[in-house]
Amino acid sequence: MSPVRPQRKIGRLSEIGRVATRHGFGYLVDRRRRDDRREPADRGRRLREMLDELGPTFVKFGQLLSTRPDLVPPDIVAELRGLQDDVSPFPFAQVREVVETELGLTVEQAFTAFDEHPIAAASIGQVHRATLPNGQQVVVKVQRPAAPRQVESDLQLMRSAARVVRERVRALDFIDAEALVEEFARSIHQELDYGNEARNAETFRRNFGDSEQVVVPKVIRPYSGERVLTLEYLEGAQFADLDLESRSPEERRELAYRMTDAWMTMIFRHGFFHGDPHPANILLLEDGRIGLVDFGLAGRLTEEDMTRLTRLFVDAATENVEALPRRLSELGLRYPKEREDELRAAIEDLYYRYYGSSLSEIDPIEVIREGLDLIYSLNLRLPSRFVVLDKTIATLGAVGIELYPEFNVFEVARPYARGLLADRFSPRRMSLRAQHEVRELAGIARELPYQARDVLEQARQGQLELQLRNPGLDDLAYHIDHALNRLAVALIVLGGLVGSSIVGVLAKEGPRVMGLHALSFVGFVISSLFGLWLVWGIARSGRL
């Protein structure tokens, strides 16, 4: 990958600064460290518009932020979920070049027909219909030629912007912006690798191999590569394009519940689920089955995740609210220990607000919104796999309500949750779990003497080190550094004033200015300038 040219990088940084200022985020390019904690009502809209104007990579970053309710306020999450990844298609000449480079064949050799006009276009690539030599209808997903270079360029700028946020925006101190950018870098690198999407599609197809309700297109491996993905063509209409007004309420309800049933199967039975149930990624096929497309984002839940979820369900069902924070912690939820009592009280409040209500009386979208408020207000940190799950269920709920206004995603999930409980507490499953835990304990007992010996050996050799981390120390060092700088300037000013006064009193000869000895006058002027500079710096920081 060739390095980004300095001139282009500077020009792009200037563009980002102008766009940020235009949308009311000028303090990001201000040299001062701001403590801007205001929350204007339209900040989410302004952020969405800014990311949209900055281009496709920033749009995708905004889409990632919309899946992080543990880091981003709920009002901004809601706005960022409106970001669209639609862009103008790139020329067919470039499509031809990528296809022929990846496949080692000309377009005419590989396909008997290839539609030059794409049926969909996004920031990473676009999709064309084509026909294989055996007559099979396929879709060919082709990556933009400049996509990897543009992504790397923008990632460098995002890393720079993350450092600026850390240094200058105190209101965002609780966000590890640099870690967030690195998470986005991993995500978009996976999206750039069409081989990863092909593997996801094959896993989904294998999991739904016996299904009579869900169809996953077959990956055509000989016609796929890192930048080209060829899939079996599914004949049907996107859910986004369905004419719902012409369908009866019963038909719309059936569509919503069948769609959600497919995702509940993925989550609770397969442990591997499609992470973007957008209506454009779900097809209603001509035979009435549901087809899935776009497999770049997928989530995975391990056996251990399922076991821990089961414990959480059991405690919730038996009203053991005291145990819920611990169960959430086992699932990977991170929260400040000093706020554990506050978290428990908030969970109890949310739990008893809905406890005893039937599912038909509960608004899933409102429950999810309240959950997001709780996550953000307590600065909770979610594992990435559950962030994808949260986004998936929230999107399912929204799409289901569009299809059928009385839709309730919890009603569809209930039998699956019951099945999960029955499966996890079956005699066979409990026997396997007991065997696994015995092996784990035996391994710990076997390793413990060796680990104790290693610690004692390090202590004997004087190599044992203890590291203490306090997140507040960095901020304390920052304040001490500023205070020492101001103290040094104040001492210089004081020394200058005292020295000038002594010269003015003792010096009897030499030139004078305004009745003062010239050296004394110069000293007073320099000290005054330093003094004004110090006062101006203190006033500028807003801290007297």
Q: Which residues does the annotation mark as catalytic?
A: 276
Handedness of CA 45, 47, 48, 49 (dihedral sign): positive
Q: At what angle do helices 364-377 and 340-354 cross, to 10 degrees?
A: 170
Q: Where are the alpha helices (DSSP H) in 177-235?
A: 177-192, 194-207
Number of CB atoms found within 10 A of residue 150's CB: 17
Query: Which contiguous run of DSSP H or E holds residue 215?
Result: strand 214-215
Handedness of CA 62, 66, 68, 71 (dihedral sign): positive
> What span, in angstroms and rounded, lies between the C-alpha atoms of 526 and 497?
9
b (16+ CB within 10 A) / e for 410-439: bebbeebbeebbeebeeeeeeeeeeeeeee
Asked if 51 and 83 touch (Cβ cutoff 8 Å), the reply is yes
Which amino acid is present at 434? A
Number of CB atoms found within 10 A of residue 345's CB: 10
Which amino acid is present at 357? S
Q: What single string gives the DSSP state of each residue in 329-375?
A: HHTT-B--GGGHHHHHHHHHHHHHHHTT--GGG--HHHHHHHHHHHH
From 367, 106, 354, 310, select the one nearest 223 (Cα to Cα): 106
Number of CB atoms found within 10 A of residue 310's CB: 19
As a 3-state breakdown, the chain gives helix, strand, coil percent values, each rounded to 5, of 65, 10, 25
From 17, 48, 380, 61, select the one nearest 164 (Cα to Cα): 17
Asked if 200 and 265 touch (Cβ cutoff 8 Å), the reply is no
Report the SS3 class of residue 126: strand
Q: At what angle do helices 6-22 and 147-168 cross, to 10 degrees?
A: 60
Tokens of residue 2, six digits: 């060739």
From 90, 136, 145, select the one nearest 113 (Cα to Cα): 136
- What one-character DSSP code corresponds to residue 199? H
> What span, in angstroms and rounded, lies between the C-alpha atoms of 299 and 393?
12
Report the SS3 class of residue 432: helix
C-alpha distances in angstroms, 222 versus 81, 145, 232?
Answer: 36, 21, 13
> What span, in angstroms and rounded, lies between the C-alpha atoms of 176 and 173?
7
Asked if 37 and 169 touch (Cβ cutoff 8 Å), the reply is no
- What one-character DSSP code corresponds to residue 31? S
